[in-house]
């Protein structure tokens, strides 16, 4: 390490950027964002630079001139960002003579400091540098960290900052660090990061009181939607929470690829059951989830698709709330949306469908579906758990007046290896699916949008083109 990483305070200080192009404008914008006053020195301004000056209203000003050393008289920091190596060199020399920190864009030799790639979650800021060797690599790392660090990390830091003195007054010095460790890896953190500061505050207050009386603290449950199977379709928050879970309870529909993204040390417990599982199986899951959390563990309850769509997530939420266990719900991409995307079916499209219904194909015991509404034109219906009931679904729709030639599609294993799409009409789809030996998990999509032949063909060729690129 031959550069000292520091965060320099430039608030209300004079800084100079030499150059009027897009690069100079970017540097000036960064300085202005940190509260500096910026003088852009250039005979001419690019459009980007002119727009910046009008946007920043006085914080960035333009000095229309060719660079001269006396322009640095009041400067605390200098950036040379012209496209002339000669001008940049003379800026660096003038700054050097005044012992001013200077950066010449893309020029290692002329610079006394570099601007790092930045992940900004103010007040938390991550700066990544490669000491000028590989700025593109630093930028790639920045992108990876962008994806990894929660969007509300800054809010969490502010939340903690506002409570530091309360902790200092309440806990002995030796207790503070473990306390904050618990806060940042536990429910308070999850609640604040999901945007619920009120809940975070309530839990924080309870945790602080419990720490004082040394009661063991309770864990928490993350009710996470695992998406349709392809792990790249996990949300960033799902990934973050899977990385900090102690134990993972997962269903049959959760793919190996998704489980592979979870924290390596986390214990994985399969609690899958077959569709329509009996009450006791579900109750056993509730008991397991609650007892693990009561031991202080962070439990990820991982469910296929979205946890609140045909996933019995509601029952689990109710149990957790009743038992006073903090929980966070993370939505997932539900299979219906993934299947539509896989098949290029626009679930709503102005001329074809104005509404969409997600329905269960398991209506045998409890048929609360409004078949007349589902049979109407300009409506798309997506049936989950449809494989074993396909004939009955078709019969009901026909009986309610849907035409036999209404387009229909079955999507099997959407986003998973072996994904298949079968297209036909309402009248034919069930026998075609049987002939093709379609098996669960699969969805049945019915409605004029399911044909959308034009969209489909264009989509298919795009998909093939992309496969060619990969």
> Which stretch, 190-198, 282-290, 381-389, 394-402, contacts ligand SAH (CB under 6 A)?
381-389
> Which stretch, 28-36, 78-86, 167-175, 383-391, contacts ligand SAH (CB under 6 A)?
383-391
Q: Which is nearer to ligand SAH, 300 or 414 (CB)?
A: 414
Query: Going by DSSP bridges, is the β-strand pair 124-128/117-121 parallel, antiparallel, or unpaired?
Result: antiparallel
DSSP at 136: H
311 near 329, Cβ under 8 Å? no
219 near 291, Cβ under 8 Å? no
Cα 20 from Cα 267, distance rounded (Å) = 57
Q: Which is nearer to ligand SAH, 297 or 414 (CB)?
A: 414
Among 339, 345, 422, 429, binds ligand SAH (CB under 6 A): 339
Among 411, 429, 438, 452, binds ligand SAH (CB under 6 A): 411
Q: In residues, how long is the chain?
A: 470
Cα 270 from Cα 154, distance rounded (Å) = 35
Q: Hey, which residues between 214 and 233 contact ligand SAH (CB under 6 A)?
A: 228-229
| E strand segments, 251-399 | 267-270, 298-303, 327-330, 355-360, 379-384
On the question of a cis peptide bond just before residue 58, with omega within 30 degrees of 0, the verdict is: no
The answer to whether residue 273 is catalytic is yes
Least separation, in Å, of the C-beta of 253 and ligand SAH? 5
> Which stretch, 65-73, 278-286, 320-328, 334-342, contacts ligand SAH (CB under 6 A)?
334-342
Least separation, in Å, of the C-beta of 362 and ligand SAH? 8
Least separation, in Å, of the C-beta of 398 and ligand SAH? 21
Query: In whole angstroms, how far apart are CA 13 and each of 8, 9, 49?
Result: 11, 8, 20
On the question of a cis peptide bond just before residue 441, with omega within 30 degrees of 0, the verdict is: yes
> Which stretch, 89-97, 107-115, 207-215, 410-418, contacts ligand SAH (CB under 6 A)?
410-418
Size of the site for ligand SAH (CB under 6 A): 25
Q: Is 335 in the site for ligand SAH (CB under 6 A)?
A: yes
Residue with tokens 């103010």: 122
> Which stretch, 42-50, 123-131, 182-190, 378-386, contacts ligand SAH (CB under 6 A)?
378-386
CA-nearest of 233, 270, 230 to 249 is: 270
Cα 43 from Cα 465, distance rounded (Å) = 47
Site string for ligand SAH, 349-368 (x = CB under 6 A): --------------------
Least separation, in Å, of the C-beta of 141 and ligand SAH? 33
Q: Burial code of 15-41, b = ≥16 C-beta within 10 A, e = fewer?
A: bbbbbbbebbbbbbbbbbebebbbbbb
Question: In sequence order, which residues have a C-beta less than 8 Å from that of residue 329 and are 6 or more positions away?
Answer: 223, 307, 308, 313, 317
Q: Is 371 in the site for ligand SAH (CB under 6 A)?
A: no
268 CB burial (10 A radius; 0-12, 13-18, 19+): middle
Select which of 251, 365, 395, 405 is catalytic: 251
Q: Which is nearer to ligand SAH, 101 or 257 (CB)?
A: 257
Q: Which is nearer to ligand SAH, 60 or 429 (CB)?
A: 429
CA-nearest of 405, 366, 359 to 382 is: 359
Cα 261 from Cα 326, distance rounded (Å) = 24
Q: Is 429 in the site for ligand SAH (CB under 6 A)?
A: no
Among 40, 119, 353, 443, binds ligand SAH (CB under 6 A): 443
251 near 303, Cβ under 8 Å? yes
Site string for ligand SAH, 278-317 (x = CB under 6 A): -------------------------xxxx--xxx------
Q: Which is nearer to ligand SAH, 78 or 253 (CB)?
A: 253
Select which of 106, 196, 201, 273 is catalytic: 273
> Which stretch, 45-53, 165-173, 206-214, 407-415, contacts ligand SAH (CB under 6 A)?
407-415
Query: Going by DSSP bridges, is the β-strand pair 407-412/442-446 parallel, antiparallel, or unpaired?
Result: antiparallel
The answer to whether residue 303 is catalytic is no
Q: Which is nearer to ligand SAH, 273 or 323 (CB)?
A: 273
Cα 296-317-194 angle, rounded to 5 deg: 75
Q: Hey, which residues between 248 and 267 contact ligand SAH (CB under 6 A)?
A: 253
Binding residues for ligand SAH, rule: CB under 6 A, are: 228-229, 253, 303-306, 309-311, 334-335, 339, 384-386, 411, 413-416, 440-443
Residues involved in catalysis: 251, 273
């Amino acid at each position: 390490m031959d550069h000292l990483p520091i965060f320099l305070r430039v608030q209300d200080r004079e800084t100079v950027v030499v150059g009027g192009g897009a690069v100079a404008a970017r540097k000036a914008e960064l300085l202005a964002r940190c509260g500096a006053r910026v003088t852009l020195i250039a005979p001419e301004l690019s459009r980007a630079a002119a727009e910046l000056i009008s946007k920043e209203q006085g914080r960035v000003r333009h000095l229309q001139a060719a660079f001269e050393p006396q322009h640095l008289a009041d400067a605390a920091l200098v950036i040379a960002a012209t496209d002339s190596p000669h001008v940049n060199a003379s800026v660096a020399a003038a700054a050097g003579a005044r012992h001013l920190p200077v950066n010449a864009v893309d020029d290692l030799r002329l610079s006394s400091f570099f601007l790092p790639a930045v992940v900004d979650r103010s007040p938390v800021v991550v700066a990544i540098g490669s000491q000028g060797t590989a700025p593109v690599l630093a930028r790639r790392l920045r992108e990876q960290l962008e994806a990894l660090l929660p969007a509300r990390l800054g809010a969490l830091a502010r939340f903690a900052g506002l409570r530091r003195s309360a902790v200092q007054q309440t806990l002995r010095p030796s207790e503070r660090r473990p306390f904050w460790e618990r806060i940042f890896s536990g429910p308070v953190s999850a609640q604040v990061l999901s945007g619920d500061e009120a809940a975070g505050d309530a839990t924080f207050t309870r945790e602080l009181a419990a720490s004082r009386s040394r009661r063991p603290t309770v864990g928490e449950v993350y009710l996470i939607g695992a998406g349709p199977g392809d792990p790249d379709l996990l949300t960033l928050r799902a990934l973050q929470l899977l990385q900090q879970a102690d134990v993972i309870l997962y269903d049959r529909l959760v793919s190996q690829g998704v489980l592979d993204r979870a924290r390596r040390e986390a214990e994985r417990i399969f609690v899958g059951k077959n569709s329509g599982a009996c009450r006791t199986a579900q109750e056993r899951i509730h008991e397991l989830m609650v007892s693990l959390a009561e031991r202080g563990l962070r439990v990820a309850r991982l469910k296929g698709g979205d946890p609140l769509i045909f996933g019995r997530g509601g029952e689990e939420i109710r149990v957790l709330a009743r038992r006073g266990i903090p929980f966070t719900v993370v939505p997932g991409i539900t299979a219906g949306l993934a299947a539509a995307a896989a098949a290029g079916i626009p679930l709503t499209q102005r001329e074809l469908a104005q509404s969409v219904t997600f329905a269960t194909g398991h209506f045998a015991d409890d048929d609360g579906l409004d078949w007349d509404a589902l049979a109407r034109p300009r409506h798309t219906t997506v049936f989950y758990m449809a494989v074993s009931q396909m004939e009955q679904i078709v019969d009901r729709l026909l009986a309610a007046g849907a035409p036999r030639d209404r387009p229909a599609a079955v999507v099997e294993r959407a986003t998973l290896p072996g994904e298949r799409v079968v297209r036909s009409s309402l009248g034919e789809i069930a026998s075609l699916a049987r002939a093709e030996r379609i098996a669960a998990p699969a969805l049945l999509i019915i409605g004029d949008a399911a044909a959308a032949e034009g969209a489909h063909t264009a989509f298919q060729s795009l998909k093939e083109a992309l496969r060619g690129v990969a």
